[in-house]
Amino acid sequence: EHSKHAGRAADYCSMMDVLDRLRSMTAEDLAPIVQRALGIEGAWPSSWSCTPLSTALVNPVTVGLFRLDGEGTVRGQSPVPWIVVLKVVADVDFAGSGLADGYSQRPEDWNYWNREAVVYRSGFLDHFKGPLTAVRCLGDAEVEAGQSWLWLEALDGAAPRSRWSLPELAHSAYDLGAFAAQGVSHVDELESYDWAARRWLRGWVRSIEAIGAEHARDHA
């Protein structure tokens, strides 16, 4: 219980650190991201705001998820609205817990903390043509040792939405199956990458047992 509360405090501190960094960002810092989001070379962010998207993040290696939106100036045009999503991932210290080993620190771990960034850099996602595709990554940077920022395309304005309906879940399941099927012909390439998860299911089961799955199973 003590470690759980300590972890929440650390997560809160991490999010506050990210917010402080975001508030200190300049137009020069944001300009490359805004230009890629708009597809307009020379677009310049003139104003913006930042809003945390969620305080109840499911994956503990994700320490922050933010929406940035504002206006950009383009020569000869009226101000242009822009919006992006920032995802912050970190090498969280799980020492003393059941997640200290085989969970997120090594590239082959099933929940490797920096996998999303290195997958985008690899170009491997270009193999998947739809109907399910990855959002565009507008840029990424390891801002400090053990922490990466991913600037991502904002779908549907990154606005909060209601719980999915059963038909939406069914369509998503179909699209996910089609996505996985496209990867079959690329297995050899995937296995050549050091960031590919090894023994994923075994690692996942070991992790959920470590955080209390057996206790939940045995105690109604």
State pLDDT tens for residues 50-77.
Answer: 988 876 778 889 988 999 999 999 988 8
Res. 1: pLDDT tops 50: no
CA distance 170 to 178: 13
CA distance 107 to 204: 15
Q: What is the pLDDT of residues 180-220, one digit of tens each?
A: 999 999 999 999 999 999 899 999 988 888 877 777 778 87
Residues whose CB falls within 8 Å of the CB of residue 182, separated by 6 or more in sequence, listed in order: 127, 128, 129
pLDDT level of residue 91 (50, 70, 90 thresholds): very high
Res. 5: pLDDT tops 70: no
Phi, then psi, of 111 in degrees rounded to 5: -120, 40
Q: What is the pLDDT of residues 148-173, one digit of tens each?
A: 999 999 988 777 778 889 999 999 99
CA distance 152 to 140: 9
Query: In this structure, what token pair is assigned to residue 75?
Result: 């020569």
Region 24-51: what's the mean pLDDT?
Answer: 94
Residues whose CB falls within 8 Å of the CB of residue 149, separated by 6 or more in sequence, listed in order: 86, 87, 88, 140, 141, 143
Query: In this structure, what token pair is assigned to residue 160?
Result: 């909060």
